[in-house]
Chain A
Amino acid sequence: MNSPRAPRAPLAGVRIADFTIHAAGPFCTHLLSQLGAECIKIESRTRPDAFRKPHAVYGRMSAATFDQVSANKLSVRLNLKQPEAIVLAKRIVSASDIAAESFRPGVMKRLGLGFEDLKQVKDDLVFLSLSSCGQTGPDSHFAGYAPLFGAWGGLGWMSGYNDGPPVEMRHVMDHSAGIHAALATMAALHQRQRTGSAQHVDLAAREVASAMIGDALVLASLGLTPERPGNADLGMAPHGVYATAHEDRWLTLAVRSDAEWRRLAQVLGLNADDMRFASTAGRLRHREALDALLITCFADCNADEMAATLQQVGVCAHVSWNMEDIAADPHLRARGAVTQVSAPDIPERLAVGAPARFSRTGDVGIRRLTPTLGQDEEYVFGELLGLNAEQRADLEAREVIL
């Protein structure tokens, strides 16, 4: 696990100039790099990536040794405050297929690295801008974090207990924006292949939050008021999260049909002929009575055994898993979704691996861990840009490479 190269991966030969910061942008390029793209991360000693610094708000008091979304990436230093560094950044872009950034709208342009600037050096560039609110519109200058994307986009409002406040979205919101950005970037790459033209992909993280409530937005657009269902489902009962014999060991259950209900009733020894519960409409109408019954049924059960038993009869059940459960799961290991990683200065640990399994192309997943700052300059500045050792030493002395 030490080569950043992935000659057999689906995106072998695709190169990304990666200017992204924070969580969503780096996760996007992380996914593409896991799929085989060569991703050149551009940072500097004065503006290093967040994981290289302490982060008190999250309770991390020193730099991280391992960062999930930096794996596979190549690292070079460029001090983008220097005009010469901008020239070098442009040369990296011109040697790449994709340039990705996640600054506030306008920052890349001010640096001289906007889409129009970069198109001059690479006329078929795929340029990804990922931001809170998008590159246009009255709110485009708003900065934000995952909880704000959820709030603006409506997902926070729609999530929550029916009688409670809205719910704060966390990293999954950033990373969902990252997946959407990655797939849109791939679509643009296909378009370039077909047309030979450049493209500017503009992803707004708050619009990803809105896309997650697309059904509720259809209702709202027709003047209806979508309901916040909490853990309930408007078309399924029973449907919920139930306490079991062990504290904080919850069983999740979703019954989609009458046949599934009858099988559940049989496992639990309930009267399957209770007419109140015979049909979906009946179960929805008598949801509270049904829930009270199930709360009693599950209160003393072993959640893990119950989930397995219900799965055997074709009822959708699963324990509410914490990260220890996930770390210990043979299924996720077998799929490579959870994988063991290590490096000379990083003891063995678990990481989230390949996004999917591919039958023909190999090398998908984590191939090398967090790069040290500037560790790939020999390759990028030397081999790709053709700068010799002397030229690089000079650029370093003048703090262009910093």
Chain B
Amino acid sequence: MPFNDSPPSSALPLSGCRVLERSSTVAAAYAGRLLATLGAQVVMLEPPGGSPLRRAAPLLDEGGESALFAYLAVGKRSMVCDLADAEGRALLDQELEHADILIDDTPVGARDALGLAPDRLSMRFPHLVHVSVLPFGASGPKADWDAAELNLIHAGGEGYLLPNGLSNELFPDRPPLKIYGHFSGYQGGAMAVLCALSAWWAVPQCGGQYVDVSVQDAVLSVGAFALQRLGDGSLEHRATRRFRYGGVFEAQDGFIELLTLEDRQWSSLVALLGSPDWARDAGLLDPLERSRRGSEINEHIRAWMAAHTVEDIVRWAQELGVPAGKYRTPAEVVHGEQERARGLFASASLQNGQQTEMLVAPFQFRCTPLAGGGCVPALGEMTQEVSV
């Protein structure tokens, strides 16, 4: 069985960094995944039955391997560590001796009994960066609240604002709509990595410390402009948070995003539409007038889009400098020319032995490229390796 045990190349950004991860949520697992791709050695400490993420949707096939887990766990190691018994807690301490960073999403109330209390860890391991990643954080009146992705995108304020634009116009009476997958969890995980690496940076000056990350805080953080707007006197709502014109359009054979935010792009848009009579109305040269008549402009754009193919529209728009792009399917992303040219994907082996393409990371290090890929670790493969 293959393992992610080749000595990590010293050329990677976080070569030499040792991370322990206890994760049952996407936020904590994504944090570990980013660190692993950056070159850290990341060991998942899993309960005897394995992380619940191993069974999380979407699955490759009914009852099969989790695509989500595969994406989150590739490049990591797995060790079974049952913190419910003393032997497991001794193993935890043994592993922590050599760890730089611990990522943990154990609920606050369960930590003491499992040997994961921050005070104990900071006494015993003064150089450890202990990062807690919980739905509502580890402190504050709602620290003991639990939440799944759907709850968190709404607790952080973005859920209420979705969908905006065309989806909201078509289905104004439907409930608000979440972003696909685990958008909130990913923000929480990315924030956890940023804070972990910042705290690790400060270790030579002040030693290790406890960092309390909240997924709700992270969602609010990426949605900060809505709070800024509230301070300016306007409460955003999905029905009104839309660009006055532009947005999602249906072309003959797919969907297009078209958006002109700068004044100079108006004339390019008019040219794209073939300079029709309605668009030559002198009043529309005024950006304010265009804002007021946005719905009317959109009706014209919709009619025009419906008569052309995505490929034509995108080509003409690029030639004229109108920001426009296709709403691409996952398959189009996987096979995209841009993605291929940039090496966004690397080969990875799933637990069932199948090879797949896996997104490496949403950033590149041009002087020392990230390798990506690797294996999706079987439960406890590290323990097995030791006992063999």
A residues with CB within 8 A of B: 10-12, 14, 23, 31, 35-36, 56-57, 59-60, 64, 66-69, 115, 133-140, 142-145, 147-148, 150-161, 164-172, 175-184, 186-191, 194, 197-204, 207-208, 210-222, 224-231, 233-236, 239-243, 250, 252-254, 256, 311, 314, 316-327, 330-332, 334-335, 337-338, 349-352, 355-361
Given contacts A10-B198, A200-B365, 9 further A-B contacts (CB under 8 A): A67-B228, A151-B328, A159-B178, A167-B167, A188-B13, A239-B150, A321-B156, A322-B157, A361-B199
In the complex, chain A residues whose CB is within 8 Å of the CB of B201:
10-11, 14, 186, 189-190
With contacts A138-B341, A318-B147, A350-B230 taken as known, whether A212 is within 8 angstroms of B174 at the C-beta atoms is no
Q: Mark B203-214, 1 if CB is under 8 A from A, else 0.
A: 001110111111
Could you say which residues of chain A place their CB within 8 Å of the CB of B270? none
B325 A322 Cβ-Cβ under 8 A: no
Query: Of the candidates A143, A151, A179, A188, which one forms a contact with B190 in the assembled complex, judged by CB atoms under 8 Å apart?
Result: A179
* Residues 143-158 (chain B) with a chain A CB within 8 angstroms: 143, 145-152, 154-158
On whether the beta carbons of A357 and B212 are closer than 8 Å, the reply is yes
CB of B326 closer than 8 Å to a CB of A: yes
Distance between Cα atoms of A157 and B256 in the complex (Å): 10
Given that A218-B67, A228-B180 are contacting pairs, would A170 and B161 also be in contact in the complex, using a CB cutoff of 8 Å?
A: yes
A148–B362 Cα distance when bound, in Å, is 16
Contact, CB under 8 Å: B259 / A154 = no
Contact A235:B250 (CB < 8 A) given known A176-B187, A190-B13: no
Please measure, in the bound complex, the distance between the C-alpha atom of A331 and the C-alpha atom of B145, giving whole angstroms.
11
Which candidate, B78-86, B88-96, B217-225, is the interface stretch facing chain A?
Answer: B217-225
Contact of A242 with B181 at beta-carbon distance under 8 Å, contacts A176-B187, A197-B367, A233-B57 already known: no
**Interface check B140, CB cutoff 8 A:** yes
Q: Which residues of B contact A356 (CB under 8 A)?
A: 191-192, 195, 211-214, 217
Indicate with 1 or 0, residue by residue over B350-378, a CB within 8 angstroms of chain A CB atoms.
00001011110111111110000000000
Minimal beta-carbon separation of A292 from chain B (angstroms):
14
CA gap between A131 and B148 in the complex, in Å:
32
> Which residues in B have their C-beta under 8 angstroms from that of A252?
150-151, 154, 159
* Shortest distance from the beta carbon of B372 to any chain A beta carbon, whole Å: 11
Closest-CB distance, B253 to chain A (whole angstroms): 14
Q: For the complex, what is the distance from the CA of A346 to the CA of B275, rounded to whole Å?
A: 45
Contact B194 A179 (CB under 8 A): yes
B166 at interface by CB-CB < 8 Å: yes
26 contacts between A and B (CB under 8 A): A35-B195, A59-B291, A138-B341, A148-B323, A155-B180, A158-B181, A160-B177, A170-B161, A170-B241, A176-B186, A187-B197, A201-B365, A208-B362, A212-B183, A217-B358, A218-B356, A220-B334, A241-B154, A254-B149, A316-B147, A321-B154, A322-B160, A332-B216, A357-B212, A358-B195, A361-B202
Q: Which residues of A contact B165 (CB under 8 A)?
A: 167-168
Q: List, in ascending order, chain B residues with CB within 8 A of A235's CB.
A: 55-57, 59
> Is A161 a contact partner of B177 (Cβ separation < 8 A)?
yes
A227 to B237, CA, bound (A): 28
Report whether B231 and A166 are in contact in the complex, using a CB–CB cutoff of 8 Å.
Answer: no
Residues of A within 8 A of B243 (CB): 57
Provide the residues of chain B in CB contact with A190, threshold 8 Å. Answer: 13-14, 17, 197, 200-201
Chain B contacts of A338 at CB under 8 A?
A: 220, 227
Contact B325 A152 (CB under 8 A): yes
Tell me whether B226 is interfacial, beta carbon within 8 Å.
yes
Chain A residues near B7 (CB, 8 Å)?
A: none
Cβ of B4 within 8 Å of any chain A Cβ, yes or no, is no
Pick the contact of A202: B186, B218, B358, B364 (CB < 8 A).
B364
Question: Smallest CB-CB separation from A311: which chain B residue?
Answer: B145
- Of all chain A residues, the one with the shortest Cβ separation from B197 is A186
Q: Separation in Å of the A150 CB from the closest CB of chain B?
A: 8
> Quick check: A350 and B71 within 8 Å, CB to CB?
no
Min C-beta distance of B337 to chain A, whole Å: 6
Nearest-Cβ distance from residue A236 to partner chain B, whole angstroms: 7
Q: Please state if B14 and A320 are interface contacts (CB–CB under 8 Å).
A: no
Q: B221 contacts which chain A residues (CB < 8 A)?
A: 175, 179, 337, 352, 355
| B181 contacts across to A, CB distance below 8 A | 158, 212-213, 215-216
List of B residues within 8 angstroms of A218 by Cβ:
60, 67, 70-71, 356-358
CB contacts (< 8 Å) of B154 on chain A: these are 241, 250, 252, 318-321
Per the bound structure, the CA–CA distance linking A105 and B137 in Å amounts to 38
Give the residue of B71, B209, B224 whose beta carbon is less than 8 angstroms from that of A361: B209
- With beta carbons under 8 angstroms apart, the residue of B193, B227, B342 that contacts A183 is B193
- How many angstroms between the C-alpha atoms of A153 and B162 in the bound complex? 18
Given A169-B179, A335-B137, verify A323-B226 contact (CB < 8 Å): yes
Q: Are B250 and A168 in touch, CB under 8 angstroms?
A: no
Q: Which of A66, A151, A179 sits near B187, CB closer than 8 Å?
A: A179
Shortest Cβ distance from residue B228 to the other chain A in the assembled complex, whole angstroms? 5
Does B50 have its Cβ within 8 Å of any Cβ on chain A?
no
Residues of A within 8 A of B17 (CB): 190
B48 within 8 A of A: no
Say yes or no: B175 contacts A326, CB within 8 Å.
Answer: no
Chain B: which residue is nearest A330 at the CB level?
Answer: B141
- The answer, yes or no, to whether B45 is at the interface (CB within 8 Å) is no
How close is B291's CB to chain A, nearest CB, in angstroms?
A: 6
Q: Which residues of B contact A133 (CB under 8 A)?
A: 338
Task: Report the Cα distance A190→B12, complex, angstroms.
Answer: 10
Q: Which 4 A-B pairs have the closest CB atoms?
A: A235-B57, A254-B148, A234-B57, A220-B330
Report B327 CB to chain A, min CB distance, Å. Answer: 4
- Given A242-B175, A356-B212, are A157 and B327 also a contact pair (CB < 8 Å)? yes
Contact partner, A352, options B38, B170, B227, B237, Cβ 8 Å: B227
- The answer to whether A180 and B57 touch across the interface, beta carbons within 8 angstroms, is no
B212 CB to nearest A CB, Å = 4
> How far does the Cβ of B287 sit from chain A's closest Cβ, in whole Å?
5
B122 on the interface (CB 8 Å rule)?
yes
* Cross-chain contact A181 with B363 (CB below 8 angstroms): yes
Q: With A10-B202, A152-B328, A332-B217 given, is the CB distance from A160 to B167 under 8 Å?
A: yes
When distances are taken between beta carbons in the complex, the residues of chain B under 8 Å from A222 are 60, 354, 356
Within 8 Å by CB of B231, from A10, A66, A231, lies A66
Count chain A CB atoms within 10 A of each CB in B60, B192, B199, B358 and give the residue with the most: B199
Residues of A with C-beta under 8 A to B175: 231, 240-243, 250
A136 to B344, CA, bound (A): 11
For residue B235, CB closer than 8 A to chain A, the reply is yes
**B142 at interface (Cβ–Cβ under 8 A)?**
yes
Across the interface, do A254 and B365 meet the contact criterion of CB distance under 8 Å?
no
- B345 near A221 with CB under 8 A, answer yes
A307 to B204, CA, bound (A): 44
| Residues of chain B contacted by A135 (CB below 8 angstroms) | 364, 366
Residues in B with CB closer than 8 Å to A207 are: 339, 342, 344, 359, 362-363
B227 close to A351 (CB less than 8 A): yes
Inter-subunit contact B244/A57 (CB<8 Å): yes
